[in-house]
């Protein structure tokens, strides 16, 4: 199925345009076509989830949007300008929080604000406090990283990514390593934050329910070569409960399509 130009349907301006992006990796052992002619338009303020089996190119696509990896062919436009490298308007949050262990929670969020030389130190401190409060950690400002649980570390990482006010937040399985209860709480929080901030979010996950809980659209990718297989609209009202039967209905449809991509990959 062709990638849909959602913006033609919604009238919302495009934030990200991914145009015919291909990427191949060559190692001493093999050549991998990680992405093959991938096109997708993401509207301003849209929450898009990328799902698909391991190796279908989700992280590669996210890295290309971030400007961390260059495509072999095609391009990504952010606000109409070709992405040529990383920038503070497109920040990435990874599965492992990648916090600096020598800084406390506050120091980690302040570090993210180094990307904002336009602010005074007093403004940065105020913003850091605001975002730690937003992720429910105001009481842990001065906690060292090793004193924080996995969920708390991801909350600090989220505050650090949000604080410089990026237009686009790129999230690579940010909740993948957390237990189910902590994840459920974070689904509520990220939905709340997104509804308030209306950032454009591209979110990579293996978890179809998670994708349906969070995304306006779920983009299903298939491997070898990495391509967009199908795009699903999720018109459920928000906030969404990951355990609701309606959500389960959407998730089972997508899970069935995902199973199809796996069957195809293994039968080749």
Ligand X SMILES: Nc1ncnc2c1ncn2[C@@H]1O[C@H](COP(=O)(O)OP(=O)(O)OP(=O)(O)O)[C@@H](O)[C@H]1O
Among 25, 70, 133, 249, binds ligand X (CB under 6 A): 25
Measured torsion, CA atoms of residues 236, 185, 218, 207, in degrees rounded to the nearest 10: -130
- Nearest distance from C-beta of residue 219 to ligand X, angstroms: 12
By the 8 A CB rule, do 142 and 110 touch?
Answer: no
Among 41, 60, 97, 261, binds ligand X (CB under 6 A): 60
Residue numbers 210-239 binding ligand X by CB under 6 A: 226
Q: Does residue number 72 form part of the binding site for ligand X (CB under 6 A)?
A: no
CA-to-CA separations, 97 to 154, 161, 177, 251, in angstroms, rounded: 5, 10, 10, 27
Main-chain phi, psi angles of 145, to 5 degrees: -55, -40
Q: Does residue number 121 form part of the binding site for ligand X (CB under 6 A)?
A: no
Q: Select from 27-35, 113-121, 140-148, 190-198 the region that touches ligand X (CB under 6 A).
A: 27-35
**Spatial distance between the Cα atoms of 206 and 61, rounded to a whole number of angstroms:** 15
Q: Does residue number 93 form part of the binding site for ligand X (CB under 6 A)?
A: no
- Nearest distance from C-beta of residue 176 to ligand X, angstroms: 9
Q: Write the binding mask 157 to 196 for ligand X: x where contact by CB under 6 A, - elsewhere.
A: ----------------------------------------
Maximum distance among all Cα pairs of the chain, rounded to whole angstroms: 60
- Nearest distance from C-beta of residue 104 to ligand X, angstroms: 30
Residue with Cβ nearer ligand X (55 or 87): 55
Task: Give me the residues that bind ligand X (CB under 6 A), please.
Answer: 25, 27, 32, 34, 52, 54-60, 206, 226
């Amino acid at each position: 199925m062709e990638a849909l130009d959602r913006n033609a349907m919604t009238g919302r301006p495009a934030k990200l345009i991914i145009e015919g992006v291909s990427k191949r990796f060559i190692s001493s052992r093999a050549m991998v076509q990680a992405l093959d002619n991938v096109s997708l338009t993401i509207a301003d303020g849209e929450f898009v989830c990328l799902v698909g089996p391991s190796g279908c190119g989700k992280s590669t696509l996210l890295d290309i949007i971030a400007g961390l990896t260059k495509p072999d062919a095609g391009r990504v436009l952010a606000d109409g300008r070709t992405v040529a490298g990383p920038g503070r308007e497109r920040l990435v949050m990874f599965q492992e929080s990648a916090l600096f262990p020598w800084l406390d929670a506050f120091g980690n969020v302040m570090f993210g604000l180094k990307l904002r030389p336009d602010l005074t130190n007093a403004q940065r401190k105020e913003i850091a406090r605001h975002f730690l409060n937003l992720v429910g950690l105001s009481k842990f400002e001065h906690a060292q990283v090793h004193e924080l649980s996995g969920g708390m570390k991801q909350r600090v990482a989220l505050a650090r990514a949000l604080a410089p006010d990026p237009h686009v937040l790129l999230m690579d399985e940010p909740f993948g390593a957390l237990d189910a209860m902590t994840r459920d709480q974070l689904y509520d929080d990220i939905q709340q934050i997104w509804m308030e901030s209306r950032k454009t979010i591209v979110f990579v996950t293996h978890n179809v329910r998670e994708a349906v809980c969070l995304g306006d659209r779920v983009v299903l990718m298939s491997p070898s070569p990495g391509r967009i297989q199908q795009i699903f609209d999720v018109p459920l009202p928000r906030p969404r409960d990951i355990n609701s039967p309606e959500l389960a209905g959407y998730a089972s449809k997508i899970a069935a399509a995902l199973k199809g991509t796996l069957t195809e990959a293994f039968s080749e």
